[in-house]
Amino acid sequence: MRTASGIPISVTRKRMKSIRLRIKATDASVHLSAPYHVSERVLYAFVQEREAWILKQRERAKGLPQAKPIDNSSKARKALLERVQRLAPQWEQHLGVKASSYSVRLMKSRWGSCNIRTKKIALSMMLADRTDTLLEYVLVHELVHLREPGHNRRFYQFMEDAIPNWRALHKELHGE
């Protein structure tokens, strides 16, 4: 653990091209990932240049409500999967797609994922305590990937056609 401007910073050296700076929302800790070839002096200067931003983000993170633990029990997983399976058929029909399977798993940085090749959709257990409307938004987002793999104009047009207020739901889901 190093400090810069009195801020404790965790530094990890990796095979990468550029320096990456992150502030964890859970504890406001500062993490720096850097290529092996970058000197300590350059890292220190990098942090110094971003000191105001780091302090602002740390304060913001400290003000966020603490996330409650995710219930990942088999009962909670089964209940979420049942909700997904209740909503999925109507959206598959509406979008003209068919997922090969649905699963739920513990994901801490994503709400869902879609494997385009196998057509498998996985949804995060973080959705278990969200409304059906927000669950539906994430489900539709993943199903739309079966029509359009990327996040491009065509993808967002499909989202707009399916759920006109998807932007508001996105903000609600991400706490914006």
**DSSP assignment of the chain:** -EEETTEEEEEEEES-SS-EEEE-TTT--EEEEEETTS-HHHHHHHHHHTHHHHHHHHHHHHHSPPPPPP--SHHHHHHHHHHHHHHHHHHHHHHT---SEEEEE--SS-SEEEETTTTEEEEEGGGGGS-HHHHHHHHHHHHHTTT--SSSHHHHHHHHHH-TTHHHHHHHHTT-
Note whether 118 and 41 are same-domain residues: no
139-153 tens-digit pLDDT: 999 999 999 999 999
Domain enclosing residue 169, as ranges:
74-173
Note whether 40 and 83 are same-domain residues: no
Higher-pLDDT residue of 67, 144: 144
Give yes or no for residue 34 having a pLDDT over 90.
yes
Q: Are 97 and 114 in contact (CB under 8 A)?
A: no
Look at residue 135 in the predicted model and tell me its pLDDT.
97
Give yes or no for residue 133 having a pLDDT over 70.
yes
Q: Which residues contact 112 (CB under 8 A, 6 or more apart)?
A: 121, 122, 123, 124, 127, 138, 139, 141, 142
The answer to whether position 69 is within a domain reads no
Sign of torsion over alpha carbons 123, 173, 65, 83:
negative
Look at residue 66 in the predicted model and tell me its pLDDT.
65
Instruction: Please say which residue of 37, 63, 89 terminates a domain.
Output: 63
Q: Report percent pLDDT > 70 for the chain.
A: 95
Look at residue 70 in the predicted model and tell me its pLDDT.
85
81-126 tens-digit pLDDT: 999 999 999 999 999 999 999 999 998 778 999 999 999 999 999 9
Look at residue 106 in the predicted model and tell me its pLDDT.
92
Phi, psi angles (nearest 5°) of residue 66: -70, 130
Higher-pLDDT residue of 7, 67: 7
Note whether 101 and 47 are same-domain residues: no
State how many domains the chain has. Answer: 2
CATH of the domain at 83: 3.30.2010.10
